[in-house]
Amino acid sequence: MTGRSIPGQSTARRGVKQDRFTRVDESRKVAYEVLRAVSAEDAYANLVLPKLLRAKRLNGRDAAFATELAYGVLRGRGTYDALLATLVDRPLADLDAGVVDVLRMGLHQLLAMRVPDHAAVATSVALARNVLGGGPSGLVNAVLRKASGRDLDAWVAEVAPTDSDADLAVRYSHPEWVLRSLREALRAHGHDPAELADLLRADNTPAHVALTALPGLSTPGDLVGRDAHLEIGTGRWAPTAAHVVHGDPGKLAAVRTGRARVQDEGSQLVALVLAAADVEGRDERWLDLCAGPGGKAALLAATAAGRGATLTAVEVAAHRAELVRQALSAVPGLADVRVGDGREVGADEPGEYDRVLVDAPCTGLGALRRRPEARWRRTPADLGSLAPLQRELLASALDAVRPGGVVAYATCSPVLSETRLVVDDAVKAAAKRGVVVERLDTPAVLDRVVPGMPAAAAGPAVQLWPHTHGTDAMHVALLRRVG
């Protein structure tokens, strides 16, 4: 994890002499509020943090510090809790949750950021006093002073269990069930399970910000450039992509007007692969069956518009449907956004669509670089609870597509029970309904979009990986309904 300059460093240094009166800077307060919202309100950090940064008017180094502190704690929570279990003389569950968050923040500053030990301890004590009262500050002071005697590697070497999975769970801060699921996914999708450590490391590396230039509205070349505040480079894979080297992409006019969007290259490739697949016959009506929040829908809508086709975007939640409308606002009048249940579209409009995307709700275990809290929020039970929904959505898509049309089933999870097994079951269930489905060679279609992309084939499907491709672990399988 990379460090940052220290907001309010002179104040923190004064805190060594006058610890009782150390002022708490807004960057640390924002990080704390993000952590509390994630824990207490089941909020998403990527939604809470930007609002807080705007409300507190933080930018530049202060915003970067708050971002690294909040996301670093969310990524490293498993490791930090293992350390705290040896440093605190009682179970962590017996402590106030806010105290635990302050301790995690202190450990992250001590062990993973370029914050001097005295500043990390003093500001954490001050934060505890400011948000929790005077009582917990003594505990925070004592624990963090003990922690400051060693570096992260030394602490991990002491507290990591000898069992291989338990060791990996502490060392790379993933729940054991998650790392076992990821190991199984590597094996099932044709990779060496020994890559697991590289994958876990990639999950703990902050993702670079990628942009998509919506076809017909902008090009990657329009986005690439640099000035004193912003540098945009070329994308790695997707022909629509650009890469934010540094700076706030919101300063780009193309992003502000909706002609370009922040979107991972893996997500871009899902939409582009569906658009590149061969359909038999007409190619006029496209469908995004679960479209919120609208990133893939925007790319599909812009691509469809360039071919004279239209996109229908369905989203079950009204507030997310509004996000889809906003995402499509720059695409000129060729998209229809509906609030509805994607599971009902196949029955209501059988055989009406030429291309259908099912970007299914999933555990999100392929996007832990961007949503690190998902590893702590999800449980093994979620795999079972989401399975019926995933199968019902894919069944609806196979009913909604016409014979000769193509369906793309996609998830931001590589886990076998959310990818291959869903497709296997849906194809069998469709046959029982008299709907014949063939699996297309998705890697061959990807090769038309990105010639020579390595290690992406997973049988007839495509599986991307953070440690191999630098994208989220997107899975996509193309299916054609046979007449």
Question: What is the reported pLDDT for 285?
Answer: 97
Q: 476 and 376, same structural domain?
A: yes
- To the nearest whole number, what is the mean pLDDT of the chain? 92
Q: Is 109 within a domain? A: yes
Question: What is the reported pLDDT for 333?
Answer: 73
362 annotated ligand-binding residue: no
Q: What span, in angstroms and rounded, lies between the C-alpha atoms of 173 and 375? A: 9
Q: What span, in angstroms and rounded, lies between the C-alpha atoms of 482 and 403? A: 5
Q: Which pLDDT tens digit goes with each residue over 296-318?
A: 999 999 999 999 999 999 999 99
Q: Look up the pTM and report it.
A: 0.91
292 annotated ligand-binding residue: yes
Give which of 450, 454, 456, 451 is closest to 473, Cα–Cα.
456
Taking residues 400-407, report their average pLDDT.
Answer: 98
3-state secondary structure of 133: coil
Question: What is the reported pLDDT for 148?
Answer: 93
pLDDT of 179 above 80: yes
Taking residues 81-110, report their average pLDDT.
Answer: 95
Question: What is the reported pLDDT for 349?
Answer: 97
Question: What is the reported pLDDT for 139?
Answer: 94
pLDDT of 222 above 50: yes
Q: 432 and 369, same structural domain?
A: yes
| pLDDT band of 22, cuts 50, 70, 90 | low
Q: Is 119 within a domain? A: yes
Tokens of 83: 């350390």
| pLDDT band of 7, cuts 50, 70, 90 | very low
Helix axes 196-203, 176-188, angle to 10 degrees: 120
293 annotated ligand-binding residue: yes
| pLDDT band of 9, cuts 50, 70, 90 | very low
Q: 277 and 230, same structural domain?
A: no
Q: 215 and 187, same structural domain?
A: no
Residue 474's alpha-carbon distances to 89, 167, 200, 273, 316, in angstroms, are 42, 27, 16, 12, 22
Would strands 461-463 and 457-458 be described as parallel, antiparallel, or unpaired?
Answer: antiparallel
Q: Which pLDDT tens digit goes with each residue over 265-308?
A: 999 999 999 999 999 999 999 999 999 999 999 999 999 999 99
Q: What span, in angstroms and rounded, lies between the C-alpha atoms of 214 and 240? A: 7
Q: What span, in angstroms and rounded, lies between the C-alpha atoms of 205 and 347? A: 43
Active-site entry in 357, 412, 422, 449: 412
25 annotated ligand-binding residue: no
Q: Which pLDDT tens digit goes with each residue over 365-382?
A: 999 999 999 999 999 999
Q: Evaluate whether 146 touches 83 at the Cβ level (below 8 Å).
A: no
Q: Evaluate whether 140 touches 150 at the Cβ level (below 8 Å).
A: no
Q: Is 410 within a domain? A: yes
Q: 166 and 100, same structural domain?
A: no
Q: 447 and 337, same structural domain?
A: yes
Q: Is 466 within a domain? A: yes
Q: Is 124 within a domain? A: yes
Please identify, among 126, 158, 190, the residue that sits at the C-terminal boundary of a domain.
Answer: 158
pLDDT of 61 above 80: yes
Q: 290 and 428, same structural domain?
A: yes
Share above pLDDT 90 across residues of the chain, in percent, rounded to a whole number: 85
Q: Is 362 a catalytic residue?
A: no
296 annotated ligand-binding residue: yes
Q: What span, in angstroms and rounded, lies between the C-alpha atoms of 379 and 235? A: 34
Q: Evaluate whether 73 touches 108 at the Cβ level (below 8 Å).
A: yes
Q: Is 389 within a domain? A: yes
Maximum C-alpha span of the chain: 79
The most confident of the ranges 6-10, 23-27, 243-247 is 243-247
Its domain, for residue 274, covers 265-482
pLDDT of 95 above 50: yes
Name the domain count of the chain.
Answer: 4
470 annotated ligand-binding residue: no
Q: What span, in angstroms and rounded, lies between the C-alpha atoms of 400 and 350? A: 4
| Backbone angle region of 226, left / alpha / beta, with phi > 0 → left and psi within -120 to 50 → alpha | beta
Is residue 215 reached through a cis peptide bond, with omega within 30 degrees of 0 on the bond before it? Answer: no
pLDDT of 182 above 50: yes
Share above pLDDT 70 across residues of the chain, in percent, rounded to a whole number: 95
